[in-house]
Every structure is written in C-alpha cells, then in structure tokens.
Amino acid sequence: MTRSERKMRAGLGKSGWLAGLALGALAGIVLYRRLAPPAHMPNARVWRGELRRRHGAAKGAELLARAQELYRELYARRPDYSRQAGALSRLVLDYHAVWQILPALAVYRILREEGLEPTAARDEVLELAWTTIGPLYRSGLAWLPRLRRPFPAWKRTVALAMQTIFPPAGWGRRWVADETARYCFDITACIYLRTLSGYGAAELTPIFCWIDDQMARLLPASIVFERAGTLALGQDRCDFCWRRV
C-alpha cells in the first residue's frame, strides 16, 4: 500500500461521519436496490417518455419496445464477474452492467439501426442516461454545499466511493495527490470500457465519462474538477483531479 493510500484510508476515520452518511445512503441505493429481472429494462418508464418526446408517441414507443427486446438478449449473455471479484464487488459490478451499461447499449444500437450517426446516437443516450443518473447524484450531493468547508468532506466521500461503488475489481487506480487543496488519482482500467469493448461498442463509453463532467457541475463553486483525458478517448488513463479554489 502506498503512502497516499494509507493516508487516504486513515482520513476516512477522522471526522468523516457526514461524508460517510451521505455516501452510505447512495451506496445503499446501489447495493440494495433490486436488480432488474431479464424481462424488464431498467429506467424504461422514464426513457419511454423521453423517447416519445423526441420521436413522437408512436415512434418512441416502437423504439423502446425494440430496445427492450434487445436488452433481454444482452442480459441473457451479460458479463460474469465471478472470477474477478468477491461477492460484494460482484453485486456492485452487476449493478453497473444491468442498470447502466446494458440499457444504454440497447438504446444506442436501436438508434443506430434507425440511421442516426454514432455521435448523434451517443448524445441522445447520454441525455437519456442523465435523466435517471442525474437525480441520484443531485440527491446524493445535496448536503455538500451546506458545509462551511466542503472540500475535506468531498475528499472523504470520493475515497469511500472508490472502495464501495467503484471497487478495485472493476477500476484500476493509481493515487496521485492527497493534499489540503488538491485530491487526484488516475484510473488505469475501467469496467465500462472493458464491458462495452466486449460487446463491440467501445465508442459508447465516453457518455459515462461525460457524466463525470455533469456531476462536477453539481459540486460547490469552491471545488473545481480538472481532467486532461480518458481511456475511452484514447488516453492511457482517466485522470480525476479536484482542486479547492
């Protein structure tokens, strides 16, 4: 274990109860929310309304029905994480696959079949994904701007997230800086990129990177998110760096 990692773990036990409580609620949603059965695509109710708004009632319903059918096929041959993770990590990785990756992939492929260019199809899937992920982040981060000193709490929240919601079994990481006004690490391997590459749709991965940028906009103005590149866009790492203004 590196010095940065030891410092990060030690910091979790120091006055981190508020960050732990907030992230614990978020983790609870992820870990104990019922996984979707094969016959039902998660978020279908919300996405149905969005697709109807974009494409008209009849066409939107048709697109969703086709995506639902494709989702069943994808679910039936979804990744098996049992060889690379413990029981708890498998549950988390399965959540990411079943609730995030596969629904986005199903809709993306249907939109491509309709003739949309990759960029246009990705943009639409990104907006659909944010309609369901956005409220989760907004509720999970609502407490942070109320703090007098939000940056230390945010550091503890991120550190806890990297142990629970984004476990090492799915994300390789290298800690870079754990300082008073700067907190940075690199992601060297990503389960989203690996899974989507396995389905032949690596080009869809950037939408989940863009969601990181969307989430950063929910942080207090005193916390700035900085990033130079991502694995999905051809870099050798995804760099995450938060700086206190």
5-45 per-position pLDDT tens digit:
454 444 444 434 444 444 454 455 444 454 445 568 988 98
Question: Which CA distances in Å does 20 have to 31, 40, 185, 200?
Answer: 15, 32, 20, 37
Tell me the C-alpha to C-alpha distance, in Å, between residue 112 and each of 119, 171, 220, 243.
Answer: 10, 29, 37, 39
> Tens digits of per-residue pLDDT, 191-225?
999 999 999 999 999 999 999 999 999 999 999 99
What is the pLDDT of the chain when averaged over all its residues? 86
Determine the Cα–Cα distance for residues 191 and 233; give it in Å rounded to an integer.
Answer: 15
Predicted pLDDT of residue 19: 44
Give the mean model confidence (pLDDT) for residues 162-170.
91
pLDDT for the residue numbered 116: 95
pLDDT (0 to 100) of residue 2: 54
- What is the structure's pLDDT at 22? 43
0.75 exceeded by the pTM? yes
Domain extents in the chain:
3-244
